[in-house]
Structure 1
Amino acid sequence: MERDARKGEKTQPASSTGPNMNEDMCMDNSHTGRDGTCTTVDVARARWTLLRQVLRQKQVEIPEVKQVSVRRFATFDLFTRRRLVTEDPSVTSDDQWVEYRSVCSPEHSALLRDNLGPLRVNEVLNSFDNTGNVCVWPSEEVMAHYCLQKRHIFKGAVCELGGGMTCLAGLMVAICADVKEVLLSDGNEKSIQNVRDLVRRNRQAGKFGSTCVSARVVRWDCESDISALEGHYDIVMCADCLFLDQYRASLVDAIRRLLHPPELLPFGLTGMALVFAPLRGETLRMFCQLAQQAGLCISQHQQYDAQVWDVHLKMQREGKEAYDENIHYPHLVTLTKGPRLVSHTQ
C-alpha cells in the first residue's frame, strides 16, 4: 500500500539537521578556528544571529549559525532515511516526508515528517518543554531500535511519554509488536499536533494493522492528565527525559501511576517501564534514586544491544571530538512494581 502511495530513490543513514538550542551550542567555547570549529567570539556572534533569525521566524541557513546550533553527534545509524517524493499539491517544500527503515529489521519502517519549519520564539519561551520538538534524538533512535529487537516483550497497552515531535519508538512498537493499543504522548501541544499527522499518515500506509494508535498531550505534572491514564499500561517508556530538574520527580510519579498494579496482571507479572537516557552528570543517578524512593524496582544496563555498543566503542576510539559518552550514550533503566532488588549490569 505504501509502495503505491509514493516514490523515492535515495537512501542514507538516519541523521538530523534540525536546530537544537539546548545542547551542544558549539563544539567547545575554548576551541580555536584552526580546525574549523568556533572561537568564543564566533560563538557569541552566531548565537545572536540564531536568536535574531528565530525572532524573525526565519530558517537557520548561515553555515556559522548551523555549526553552533546542530548536535555534534546525531545518530547511531540504526535507521536509514529515504526522502519520499509525492505529487500531492498539499505537501509543501517545508512539509517533506521520509521513511525511517530499521537497518537490523528492514521489514519495519515508519513515515516521519522531515522539515518542521522555523522555530517561533513565543513557542520556545512559552510552551511546555521544547527539547524534543526538533528531530529524532540518539536516545529515541536507540529506544526505537531496542523495541524492534525486543518486540516480543510488548503486550497489551503501551505508552510513550515525552516522545517529542516523532515518538519514533512508540510508532515502531505499533508497527512491529502484537499489542492492542499504543499511546504516543508529549507535554507540548505542537509536538502532538505533528505526531497526530504521523499517526494518520502511517495508518493510511497500512502500518498499524489492528493496533489502536492515538496521540495526546500528557504533562507529567498535571494531575488530570495522569489520573485519566492511571493503572492502564503494561509498558511505559521514555527517552532522554531526565535532565530537567523541575520535572524529574513528576516523571517518576507518572511512570509509577500509569503502570498496571501487579495484582491486576496474571501469573504474578507486573507492568514495566523502559527508560533510555545518558548519564548527563548526576541526572540519571538522581532519577534512579527518586524511582527507588517511590517504591519502584530498578535494573540499570550499560550494555544491552550489540550494535549500539559497537557504535559506542567505535565513537570512543575515533570520534572523540564529536562524541561525549556523558551526553550521547543512553543507558537502559527498567522499572517495575515488584519485589526485585536494585541491580546493575554491564
Structure 2
Amino acid sequence: MNDDASCAANASKSHDGVTTDVARARWTLLRQVLRKKQVDNPEVKQASVRRFATFNLFERTRPVSHDSVDTSEEHWVEYTSVFFPQYSAFLRDNLGPPRINEVLNSFDNTGNVCVWPSEETMAHYCLQNSHLFTGNVCELGGGMTCLGGLMVAVCADVKEVLLSDGNEKCIHNVRGIVERNMQAGKFGSTHVSTRVLRWDCDPDISALEAHFDVVMCADCLFFDQYRSSLVDAIRRLLQPNGVAFVFAPLRGDTLQMFSQLAQQAGLLVARHQQYDVQVWDVHQKMLQEGKEAYDENIHYPLLLTLKKGSQAQ
C-alpha cells in the first residue's frame, strides 16, 4: 500500500470541511516545496502554518567552523532557547526539497519540510517544565529534528529518550543530530536513541509496550487515517502511571475528535489553553494583529495531557 497516497485520499474523505482543507493544504505545501516554488497558493495561505512560522522561542545560529573548506557545516544550526539560554542543541533542519519518490512512496513527509510551530512550542514547554520528565521518554512523530524530545534529553534528569517518526528520511536525519549532540556532550548520562516507529504497526508498538513514563507528540492529529492508531499507540506505550503531552492546534474538529477517541480508549484527557506565559503572550499579540497573518484555529497549539484511567483521583 502507498501510505502517503492513502493519507491524502483519506483526508479528502474527512467528515469536516476544515479538516479536508488543512490536509489538502499540507500536501499542496509539500508539492510546492518539491517544485521549489514560493508558497502563494490561496488555499495554502489559508491553511498552512507556514504563514506563521515561529513563536520566537529559539534563536538559530550557524556553528563556528574552524575549517574553511568544510561545507558540511552550512547544513547545521544551533538552536538556543531564548528564555533558557543555557540550553541548546545542534540541528540539521533543512534537508532540501524532497524527491518525488519520497513524497509518493514514503510515510507522511510533512516532518521533512520544517520545524513546525507546535514542535517549537513543545520543546519550549519541555525546558520550562523539565521536572515533569522522568524515567523513559518517547517522542512520537518528531519529524526531521525531534526538537521536543531532543530538549528533554538536553535539560531533564531522565534515563532514556527515544526519538521516533514513521518516516525513514526523518529518522536518518535525527540519527545524525543525535550523534552530533552526543559528541558535543549535550546529553549527559541520558541514553538517547532513534527508530522508525509507526503508530499503525503492531510490531513497532508491541516491542515497546508499557515502557515509557512520558510520551509526547506535536501536531500529529490532522490525518483521519492515523488518529485512532495514535491514541492506541499512546495508551500501549505508557506505563500505568505515565503521562502523555500532546500539542496541537484545533484544526477544525481534529483535536476534539482525537480527545473523544482517547476518552473512548479509557484515557483521562485534560485540555489546557493557557499553559505557558511566553507562548500565550505571543498568541495574544498575534490575535490583535488580525487573522491575515495568524489564525489560532491552525496556528495556536493547545496542550492535551493524557493519563490512563487507573490514575483517576
Q: TM-score range by the shorter chain?
A: 0.7 to 0.9
In the alignment, the residues of structure 2 paired with residue 25 and residue 312 of structure 1 have an alpha-carbon distance, to the nearest angstrom, of 26
Alpha-carbon contact 1:22-1:131 (below 8 Å) kept: no
Question: In structure 1, what is the equivalent of residue 13 of structure 2?
Answer: none
**Displacement, 1:91?**
3.9
| Structure 2 residue 252 is matched with structure 1 residue 249 | no
| Structure 2 residue 29 is matched with structure 1 residue 23 | no
Larger Cα-atom Rg = 1
- The structure-2 alpha-carbon separation of the partners of 1:227 and 1:193, relative to structure 1 and needing over 3 Å to count, comes to same
In the alignment, the residues of structure 1 paired with residue 161 and residue 90 of structure 2 have an alpha-carbon distance, to the nearest angstrom, of 16
- The structure-2 alpha-carbon separation of the partners of 1:177 and 1:308, relative to structure 1 and needing over 3 Å to count, comes to same
Higher relative contact order (CA 8 A, sep 6+): 2
Structure 1, residues 78-116: CA drift from partner, whole Å, max 9, x if none? Answer: 1111112422756448x5111111111100001111421
2:202 to 214, 223, 226: 223
* Matched residue type, 1:173: V
Question: In structure 1, what is the equivalent of residue 59 of structure 2?
Answer: 80
SS at match of 1:271: strand
In the alignment, the residues of structure 1 paired with residue 56 and residue 210 of structure 2 have an alpha-carbon distance, to the nearest angstrom, of 35
In the alignment, the residues of structure 1 paired with residue 243 and residue 181 of structure 2 have an alpha-carbon distance, to the nearest angstrom, of 26
* Matched residue type, 1:225: D
| Structure 2 residue 265 is matched with structure 1 residue 286 | no
* Matched residue type, 1:296: L
Question: In structure 1, what is the equivalent of residue 3 of structure 2?
Answer: none
Question: In structure 2, what is the equivalent of residue 298 of structure 1?
Answer: 269
TM-score, scaled to structure 2:
0.85
- The structure-2 alpha-carbon separation of the partners of 1:21 and 1:213, relative to structure 1 and needing over 3 Å to count, comes to farther
After superposition, the CA RMSD in angstroms is: 2.3
| Structure 2 residue 280 is matched with structure 1 residue 309 | yes
In the alignment, the residues of structure 1 paired with residue 305 and residue 69 of structure 2 have an alpha-carbon distance, to the nearest angstrom, of 45
In the alignment, the residues of structure 1 paired with residue 277 and residue 158 of structure 2 have an alpha-carbon distance, to the nearest angstrom, of 26
Question: In structure 1, what is the equivalent of residue 289 of structure 2?
Answer: 318
- The structure-2 alpha-carbon separation of the partners of 1:108 and 1:319, relative to structure 1 and needing over 3 Å to count, comes to farther
| Structure 2 residue 140 is matched with structure 1 residue 148 | no
Alpha-carbon contact 1:243-1:283 (below 8 Å) kept: yes
The number of aligned residues is: 284
- The structure-2 alpha-carbon separation of the partners of 1:89 and 1:231, relative to structure 1 and needing over 3 Å to count, comes to farther
Alpha-carbon contact 2:171-2:195 (below 8 Å) kept: yes
Question: In structure 1, what is the equivalent of residue 99 of structure 2?
Answer: 120
Question: In structure 1, what is the equivalent of residue 219 of structure 2?
Answer: 240
**Displacement, 1:320?**
2.3
| Structure 2 residue 187 is matched with structure 1 residue 208 | yes
**Displacement, 1:182?**
0.1
* Matched residue type, 2:111: G
Alpha-carbon contact 2:245-2:303 (below 8 Å) kept: yes
In the alignment, the residues of structure 2 paired with residue 165 and residue 114 of structure 1 have an alpha-carbon distance, to the nearest angstrom, of 7
Alpha-carbon contact 2:209-2:237 (below 8 Å) kept: yes
Alpha-carbon contact 1:297-1:339 (below 8 Å) kept: no
